[in-house]
Amino acid sequence: MEPADVRDDLTEVLLTEQQIHEKLAEISRRIETDYAGRSILLVGVLRGAVMVMADLARELKSPEVEMDWMAVSSYGAGTQSSGVVRILKDLDTDLTGRHVLIVEDIIDSGLTLSWLRANLESRGTASVEICALLRKPDAAKVEVDVRYVGFEIPNAFVVGYGLDYAEKYRNLRAIGILAPHVYT
């Protein structure tokens, strides 16, 4: 789906599909250099990270790239993360001695990732780093050390490229700001 297909639902296109792909290519070159000679386990966090994971993994020019998935849910009412995280689907991979790269669509409060990193580090990994396409610095409740960040964005309601509103708009190719009339 293109932004033109949902034009009335967006106040603006924040990042085009091309901008996203160029950024992921740039990040991939850094990852290839940083992990030269080592195999990587990409850990995608369902469901938002599906698009980033698919494009990042395909951009990496090495067969030493594995993928696994986790689904987590933060306790608490409303749309805000609470910091208390429950694992809905765990990894199938043994992490002992592995170089893990967590792949996320967005860091909002930072609570999910800060919990997730500590959880994965406790499993005997060789290293745990984070790659997030988007970060909202103004929404941070905890500082998370993120090695690869695509774009820092304003604290607005963004959808597309995996990001949803009520499970919709994940299939939008670009990332846009959702118009208030959609959610009010």
List residues near ligand PRP by CB under 6 A. 45-48, 81, 104-113, 164
Which one is catalytic: 9, 55, 105, 108? 108
Which residue's CB is nearer to ligand PRP, number 60 or number 116? Answer: 116
Closer residue to ligand PRP in complex, CB, 46/54: 46
Answer yes or no: 9 catalytic. no
Least CB distance from residue 75 to ligand PRP, whole Å? 11
CB of 26 to ligand PRP, least distance (A): 21
In the structure encoding, which two tokens stand for residue 10, read together? 């967006």
Q: Between residues 35 and 169, which has the closer beta carbon with respect to ligand PRP?
A: 169
Is residue 149 within 8 A of residue 180, CB to CB? The reply is no
| Type of residue at 41 | L
- Least separation in angstroms between CB 97 and ligand PRP: 26
Q: By C-alpha distance, which of 125, 122, 121, 109 is closest to 74?
A: 109
Q: What is 116-169 written as a DSSP string?
A: HHHHHHTTT-SEEEEEEEEE-GGG-SS----SEEEEE--SS-EEBTTB-BTTBS
Question: CA 60, CA 48: separation in Å to the nearest integer?
Answer: 20
Tell me which residues are annotated as active site: 108
